[in-house]
């Protein structure tokens, strides 16, 4: 009996370890089914068919459970077709460093914090412009008043970081992830945020002249690793910023400055632009379904046709009348003039006229 019990325990452990060997290299299964590669820590998982599948949040797991096999099939197809891209998207391992290690690098002319885990370390008011910080984790780190202008911070991880008064102007934040950082007067002017993921309450952030092409700032209901969040930037500065192709759905841009911004082909579904200024912006091809444009200034905006379907019941925009297309002018064509029978010697009147009492 003891032998049988031992065999049962061993087999059980083997099966459990096999089940925990997550599919898709710990990437969110639901995300993959939608064509999105996102690595998780697999804390939220589900076993189906003897295999473990990871999820970025409870909402993603619930979506999976609605039709698991269909989600798995779509995820498998995307993963197989984009395996090289998927592997690249998996973050390289980061080496945990101490405060002393970080200071040693910062005091060096060849400062390089790339692939380092600097989580919760203190960098308040430090000058980090000379540092290379590719794929650096600043999770929960203190960067208040720090100068990171022009720094290379591609694929950096700034979740929950303290960024009050931080200067990130001109920084390269391509593919960076910035979820629920603490912002206040944070300066992203001229920064490169191409394909970056950002969610949080930014307040009066300065992101003017920045590049946010294909940026992912909108609410992704099925892929929220930290719960339902959205991009909130009341009074933010986005003048002349390039948002082309970005997803900024359901964001809060009340009183924001979007003058001259490029919003071509952006997803602005249910975004709130109340009292915002979009003078001279280009919104060609943007999705404004159910957006709020209460008092939004849209003087000289290009592509006004895009606002069809916005939530008029919550207020109307200013200078946003869509001019109806004028029909093409047709060349004047000769019109047939009805023949008029005139009484002449050659053409006596056909009908007898009653001329009684008439004077000639």
Q: Flag whether 293 is in a domain.
A: no
What is the Rg, in whole angstroms, of the alpha carbon atoms belonging to the chain? 32
Q: Flag whether 19 is in a domain.
A: yes
- Report how far residue 7's alpha carbon sits from residue 336's, in angstroms, rounded to the nearest whole number: 104
* Tokens 């249910």 found at: 270
Q: Flag whether 29 is in a domain.
A: yes
Structurally, the chain folds into a number of domains equal to 1
Q: Flag whether 204 is in a domain.
A: no
Q: What pLDDT shows up at residue 56?
A: 84
E strands of the chain, at which residues? 44-48, 51-55, 95-96, 116-117, 177-179, 197-201, 231-232
Inter-residue contact 46 to 70 (CB < 8 Å): no
Q: Flag whether 56 is in a domain.
A: yes
Q: What is the pTM of this model?
A: 0.67
Burial state string for 257-292 with b = 16 or more CB within 10 A and e = fewer than 16: bbbbbbbbbbbbbbbbbbbbbbbbbbbbebbbbebb
- The DSSP string of 280-313 is T-B-TT-B-TT-B-TT-B-TT-B-GGGGTT--GG
Q: What pLDDT shows up at residue 221?
A: 60
Q: Flag whether 230 is in a domain.
A: no
H helices, E strands: number in the chain? 6, 7
Cα 212 from chain centroid?
9
Tokens representing 307 are 């606002």
Q: Flag whether 288 is in a domain.
A: no
Strand bridging mode 177-179 / 116-117:
unpaired
- Report how far residue 249's alpha carbon sits from residue 251's, in angstroms, rounded to the nearest whole number: 5
Q: What pLDDT shows up at residue 112?
A: 98
Q: By C-alpha distance, which of 162, 130, 124, 117 is closest to 145?
A: 124
Q: What pLDDT shows up at residue 142?
A: 99
Which regions in the chain score pLDDT beneath 50?
1, 3, 5-20, 84, 86, 226, 332-346, 348-360
| Structure confidence by residue, pLDDT tens digits, 125-176 | 999 999 999 999 999 999 999 999 999 999 999 999 999 999 999 999 999 9
Q: What pLDDT shows up at residue 220?
A: 67
- Report how far residue 222's alpha carbon sits from residue 214's, in angstroms, rounded to the nearest whole number: 19
CA within 13 Å, CB half, 211: 11
Q: Flag whether 25 is in a domain.
A: yes
Q: By C-alpha distance, which of 155, 149, 156 is closest to 171?
A: 149
Q: What pLDDT shows up at residue 309?
A: 82
DSSP symbol at 66: H
Range of the domain at 67: 2-89
- Report how far residue 70's alpha carbon sits from residue 76's, in angstroms, rounded to the nearest whole number: 10
- The DSSP string of 195-234 is T-EEEEE--S-B-TT-B-TT-B-S--TT--TTSS--EE-T
Instruction: Give the max Cα distance, the chain.
Output: 139
Q: By C-alpha distance, which of 283, 286, 288, 291 is closest to 313?
A: 291
- Report how far residue 189's alpha carbon sits from residue 219's, in angstroms, rounded to the nearest whole number: 23
């Amino acid at each position: 009996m003891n032998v049988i019990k031992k065999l049962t325990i061993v087999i059980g452990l083997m099966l459990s370890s096999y089940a925990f060997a997550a599919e898709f290299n710990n990437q969110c299964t639901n995300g993959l089914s939608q064509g999105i590669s996102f690595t998780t820590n697999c804390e939220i998982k589900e076993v189906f068919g003897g295999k473990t599948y990871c999820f970025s949040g409870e909402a993603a797991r619930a979506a999976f459970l609605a039709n698991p096999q269909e989600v798995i099939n779509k995820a498998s197809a995307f993963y197989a077709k984009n395996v090289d891209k998927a592997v690249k998207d998996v973050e390289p391992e980061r080496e945990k460093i101490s405060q002393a290690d970080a200071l040693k690098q910062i005091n060096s002319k060849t400062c390089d914090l790339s692939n380092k885990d600097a989580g919760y370390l203190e960098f308040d008011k430090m000058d980090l412009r000379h540092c290379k910080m590719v794929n650096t984790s600043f999770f929960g780190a203190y960067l208040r008043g720090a100068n990171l202008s022009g720094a290379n911070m591609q694929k950096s991880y700034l979740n929950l970081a303290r960024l009050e008064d931080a200067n990130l102007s001109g920084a390269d934040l391509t593919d960076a992830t910035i979820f629920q950082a603490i912002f206040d007067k944070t300066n992203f002017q001229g920064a490169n945020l191409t394909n970056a993921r950002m969610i949080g309450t930014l307040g009066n952030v300065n992101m003017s002249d920045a590049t946010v092409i294909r940026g992912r700032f909108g609410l992704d209901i099925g892929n929220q690793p930290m719960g339902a969040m959205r991009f909130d930037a009341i009074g933010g500065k986005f003048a002349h910023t390039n948002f082309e192709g970005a997803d900024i759905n359901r964001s809060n841009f009340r009183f924001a400055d979007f003058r001259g911004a490029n919003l071509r082909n952006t997803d602005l579904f249910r975004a709130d632009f109340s009292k915002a200024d979009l003078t001279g912006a280009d919104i060609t091809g943007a999705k404004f379904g159910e957006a709020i444009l209460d008092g939004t200034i849209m003087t000289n905006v290009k592509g006004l046709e895009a606002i069809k379907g916005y939530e008029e019941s919550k207020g109307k925009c200013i200078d946003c009348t869509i001019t109806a297309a004028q029909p093409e002018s047709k060349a004047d064509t000769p019109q047939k003039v009805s023949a008029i029978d005139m009484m002449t010697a050659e053409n006596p009147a056909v009908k007898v006229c009653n001329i009684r009492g008439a004077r000639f």
